[in-house]
Amino acid sequence: MIPLYDESFSVQKFPWVTLSLVGLNTLVFFLTFLSSDFESIIYQYGAIPELILNRQNIITFITALFLHGGISHLLGNMWFLWIFGDNIENNLGRVKFIFFYIAAGVVSLFFHAITTSFTDIPVIGASGAISGVLGGYIILFPKNRVRAFIILGRPFLFFVPAFVYLGIWFTYQFLYSGVETQVAYAAHISGFLFGAIAAYLLGRPEELEHYTVMDDGTTYKRSQSGWEQ
């Protein structure tokens, strides 16, 4: 189930931080992935649980968040960040959002390290930080509708409430957390939970006025008095 966009069209500042994060991740990916020393870069700047738990290479808590193992890894993460990140940035403000994003990534990497029994395999990617964004979104914008795409024999386009979409996403991470795989599900889960808690403590209630687009393309404005076309 792939998200295409969310329904929120509230008046807000341009999401410079979200866009900058997408741009920085993309730039770092091409600079590293196209390098002849890509593998050594991953081992030098990726977060290796064994070293982290021995209080070594602590800086990789940060550097690992901007490394990706392939184009699909990058595109998937950046797509989710672009769709859901602007709302969180607008709600928290740019400075808070930067710290929120980095903190979610650090927490997710730390819990991944704890659950992988001192492995020497580096973990990379922004997915833990972006999981924090998703956790924040389900708290601050649970009723926003997400336009999603799925193929069940044939393609289907539909709207689903954010709390349902992200609830399904979280359940999927939880169910697969015990499966041996290269995906850091523990990082996703811990990042999501951190994001939800942090957004509850730092965020503000959803704006009283915003816009939504119905299935027929009609735009409605929600205000204190109700819905207006």
CA angle at 139 for the pair 135 and 141, rounded to the nearest 5°: 105
Question: Looking at residue 211, what DSSP letter applies?
Answer: E
Kindly compute the dihedral angle of the four CA atoms of residues 99, 167, 215, 153, in this order, to the nearest 10 degrees: 120
Q: Percentage of residues in the chain with pLDDT exceeding 70?
A: 84
Cite the DSSP H helix spans in 68-224: 71-92, 94-115, 127-140, 162-175, 185-202
Q: Which two tokens stand for residue 5?
A: 């966009």
The pLDDT, as a whole number, for residue 120 is 86
Q: How far apart are the first and last CA of the chain?
A: 30
Please say if the pLDDT value at position 198 is more than 80.
yes
Question: What pLDDT shows up at residue 154?
Answer: 82
pLDDT in tens, 130-178: 999 999 999 999 999 999 988 887 888 889 999 999 999 999 998 877 6
For the chain, what is the mean pLDDT?
87
The larger pLDDT score, comparing residue 96 to residue 222, is at 96
Average pLDDT rounded to a whole number, residues 34-42: 92
Predicted local confidence at residue 159, as pLDDT: 92
pLDDT digits (tens, 9 = 90+) for 86-126: 999 999 999 999 999 999 999 999 999 998 867 888 999 99
Checking if the pLDDT of 197 tops 90, the result is yes
User: With 0-12 CB in 10 A as exposed, 13-18 as middle and 19+ as buried, what is 114?
Assistant: middle
Segment 46-72 mean pLDDT: 93
- Give me the domains of the chain, ranges plus CATH numbers: 2-228 (1.20.1540.10)
pLDDT of residue 7: 79
Burial state string for 46-56 with b = 16 or more CB within 10 A and e = fewer than 16 = bbbbbbbeeee
**By C-alpha distance, which of 38, 178, 45, 187 is closest to 111?**
187
